[in-house]
Amino acid sequence: MLKYTLVFLFFSSQVICTLYKRDFTSRNYYTLRTSSPKDIDHIQPILSDFNARFEGQVGELTSYYWISVPKESDHLISHLNTLVKRSIPDVDIRPQVPSKRVVKRALSLDKQEMHLRLQETKNALHIADPGFDKQWHLINTLELGRDLNVSGVWKQGITGKGSVVAILDDGLDFEHEDLQNNYYAEGSYDFNDHVLEPRPRLNDDVHGTRCAGEIAAAKNDVCGIGVAYDAKVAGIRILSGDITEADEAAALNYKYQENQIYSCSWGPPDLGEVVEGPQGIILDAIKNGIEHGRHGKGSIFVFASGNGGYHDDNCNFDGYTNSIYTVTVGAIDILGNHPPYAEKCAAQFLYTTDIHSGQCSDNHGGTSAAAPLAAGVFALVLSIRPDLSWRDLQHLCVQSAVPISLQDEDWQTLPSGRMFNHKYGYGMLDAYRIVELAKSFQSVGPQVHLEVSSANREALHIPDITAKPSRENALRTTLQVTREMAASLSRTEHVTVTVTIEHDRRGDLEILLVSPNNITSQLATPRKYDYSKDGLVNWTFMSVKHWDEDPVGIWSLLVIDERNPESRGRLVQWKLTIWGESKKEQRIATQSFLMQTFESMRVDKQRTLVHSVILASVALVIAGSAIFIKKYKLYHRKSYSQSSNGDVFELDNLLECPVVSEDEYDEE
C-alpha cells in the first residue's frame, strides 16, 4: 500500500499524518469534526488506543478529518466517541459510506453502458424472451445498480435447477408456455376446490401465475424470464374463496419435503387498523414447517411486507410478516426509492407472465411482486447449497444486503458495522452477493433464546405528551439482561417484545425499543385509521435491527402518546425475548453429557435380560416424558396472545428468561 507523509500547518499547530488508499472492504471510515485544529493533538493518542487510524484533513475543510477503523473493531466507535467528547465536548464523529454521486454528468454514458450490458447478457446466455428488455428488476438500464444483480449468477450456470418454490396464491396457469416445463405437479394442490390441479378458475385469478413467472418463467421466446428459470414451481391455490384455518395450515405444510420455499404475497388487510396474525393451527403449521420441513432444515417462508403505506400501516402489526420464522420482503421502485404506499418496506412494478397462452403482463407490482423475486433468489441459493437451514438463509440475507438511497435519514450504522433502515431493512437483495457468500457459508449452531419479563410489576400510566412532544417526556421502562443470562448465547439474531397495553385509541401510540448500545428499533408507529379501544393484548413485535449486537445491559421500552390528550392508556406488562445462536462450548458439553449417559446405560453387563428390558423400558418412558415436557414448556414459553381482542394463540417469537432453552429442531 502506498503511503505519503504530509505535514499540515494550522496556525501554530502542526499535524503530521500518513495518507492511505481508501480500503472500504476491510475498514469503515468516519469524519471527525472539531472546532479547533489544536484538538487533534489531544485526540490522536485516544484514536490509537481504540485501533483507529487518523487519516488527515478532509479536503480544504479545516474542521473535518478522516479516521478509519478495521471492520472487526467498528463496535468500538461508540465508546471512542464517548471518550473523546469527555475531553472535547463539541467533537462529532459520523460514518462515511461510499455511494454513486456523479449521476447527471454520467447519465448518458451509464445508459449506454447498461444497454451494452443488457445486450451482452442476452448474447452470452442466448436469451430470446421478448420481454427481457423490460424486466428492469433483472437488469436496470435506467438506474445503475438498482436491480437483482443476477446475470453474473446465471453465467456460472446457477439457474435454480433442483429447487422447488410453492406459490400459495390464487392458482397457477401451468399450461402457459412460459411455465409448463417448470411446473411441479407433485407439489401442487387446490385447497379452494379440493382438486389436484391449482388451475385459475375466476376472472381475477391472475396473481399467482404472475408471481410464478417472476420466479421460474422459462428461457424461451415467450414473455420474459424468471430469476431462477430452471427452478420448479408448484401452485397451491388458497386465495380464490373462503378457506378454513385447517386448510390454510395444510397448505403451509403441503408436500414440505419436496416444496422448499413457500412464496406468500398475502396477509391481513393493509388498512392501517388491523392487528392480526396466524393463530392456533396455522401457527402450529408454520412451526411444524420450521421443525420438520426439508427433512429438518426448515421450510423457507417468504412473505410480502404489505402495501398499506397510504394508511400509515406498519408490517409489525402483521403476525405473518413479523415472525422470526419468515423472511419479510419489501421492494423499491425503478430508481431505488421507497414508494409512499409501501409499509416501511417498498413496492415495484414488473414485467412477468400472465394467464392464458402466450399472454404477458406488465401490470404486476407492489410488495406482492417483491416476495416472489426474493423466493427466486433463494431458489438459486438452495440449488447450490440445499443443506442450508432456514436460519442460515436469514444470516445470508443480513450479510449480503446492499444499503441503498443512503440520503435517507433513517439509515443507522450498527455495532456490527452494518447499516439498517426501517424502510429498507439491511438493504437491497443482491443475487450475486448472496450466492457467493452461500458457497462457503458455515451453518449456524442451534437456536437458543433468553427471556426477561416485567411480570408482577404494577401497570404504568402512559402520559399524554401532546402539549410537550418529546421522547424525554414519554413513558420509559427498562429490563436488564445480565452476562449470566446470556451465557448460552453466542450471537443475537431476532429480538421480540411482547406487550399488553390498554388504550382508548390504539393508533395514537408509537413504541420504541432501545438497546444497551443505544440502537433504537421502531416497533410501532402511529396509525391514523386505527381507532380501536382494544389496545394490544400480548402482542409480539419483532426487530432484526439488533442482529449480532451484544444483548447485555439495560433495554428500554418507550411508549409515546402525543396525538390526542383525550385518549389515555397504560402499559400492563412487557417481555423481552432475545433469540440467537448457542455457544459452541455449550453444544459440545451437551453432546458429551449425552454420550456419557448412554455409555453408563451399558456398563453393567451382568444383569439378566429381563432386568435389562425392564430398565430400558423405564428409561424410555422417562426419556419420552422428559422430551414431551420440554416441548410442552417450549411451546407455552413461546406462546403469545397475538390477537388485539385477547384471543390466545402462539406466536413463537415473531420476527423479530432468565430462562434459556435450546430449540432442538435446529440441530442436524
Cβ neighbours of residue 595 closer than 8 Å, sequence gap 6 or more: none
Tens of pLDDT along 54-92?
888 876 667 788 888 888 776 777 777 777 777 777 788
Tens of pLDDT along 180-229?
999 999 999 999 999 999 999 988 889 999 999 999 999 999 899 999 99
Residue 520 lies in a domain: yes
Q: Which residue in 169, 313, 392, 464 is the catalytic one?
A: 169
The Cβ of residue 71 has, within 10 Å, a number of other Cβ atoms equal to 16
**Domain co-membership, 420 together with 563:** no
Q: Which residue in 323, 368, 400, 532 is the catalytic one?
A: 368
Tens of pLDDT along 596-649?
444 444 444 343 323 322 222 222 232 222 222 222 222 221 222 333 333 322
The number of helix segments (H) and strand segments (E) in the chain equals: 12, 26
Residue 631 lies in a domain: no
**Domain co-membership, 397 together with 497:** no
CATH number of the domain bearing residue 519: 2.60.120.260
- The per-residue pLDDT for 344 is 65
Confirm whether 26 is a catalytic residue. Answer: no
The mean pLDDT value of the chain amounts to 79
pLDDT of 341 over the 70 cut: yes
The Cβ of residue 556 has, within 10 Å, a number of other Cβ atoms equal to 16
**Domain co-membership, 497 together with 389:** no
Residue 534 lies in a domain: yes
**Domain co-membership, 233 together with 322:** yes
What is the DSSP secondary structure assignment for residue 624, as one 8-state letter?
H
Q: Which residue in 137, 190, 205, 207 is the catalytic one?
A: 207
Confirm whether 440 is a catalytic residue. Answer: no
Quick one: what percent of the chain has pLDDT higher than 70?
Answer: 78
DSSP assignments along 181-229, one per residue: GGB-GGG-EETTTTBS-----STTTTHHHHHHHHHH--SSSSS---TTT
Cβ neighbours of residue 269 closer than 8 Å, sequence gap 6 or more: 308
**Domain co-membership, 432 together with 529:** no
Q: Taking the alpha carbons of 291, 295, 300, 301 in that order, is the dihedral positive or negative? A: negative
584 — pLDDT class (breaks 50, 70, 90)? confident
- The per-residue pLDDT for 166 is 99
20 — pLDDT class (breaks 50, 70, 90)? low
**Domain co-membership, 435 together with 451:** no
**Does pTM surpass 0.95?**
no
Confirm whether 207 is a catalytic residue. Answer: yes
Q: How many domains, in total, are found in the chain?
A: 3
The Cβ of residue 45 has, within 10 Å, a number of other Cβ atoms equal to 8
**Domain co-membership, 311 together with 412:** yes
Closest to 177 in 3D by CA, of 205, 213, 202: 213
Tens of pLDDT along 440-484?
999 999 999 999 999 878 999 999 888 777 888 899 999 999 999
- The per-residue pLDDT for 598 is 40
Cβ neighbours of residue 610 closer than 8 Å, sequence gap 6 or more: none
**Range with lowest mean pLDDT among 30-34, 94-98, 253-257, 365-369:** 94-98
Domain residues for the domain of 32 are 3-96
Q: Taking the alpha carbons of 97, 493, 258, 438 in that order, is the dihedral positive or negative? A: positive
CATH number of the domain bearing residue 291: 3.40.50.200
Q: Which residues pair with 352 in a beta bridge?
A: 361
Tens of pLDDT along 347-405?
222 333 444 445 777 777 778 888 999 999 999 999 999 999 999 999 999 999 999 99
**Domain co-membership, 414 together with 484:** no
- The per-residue pLDDT for 60 is 60
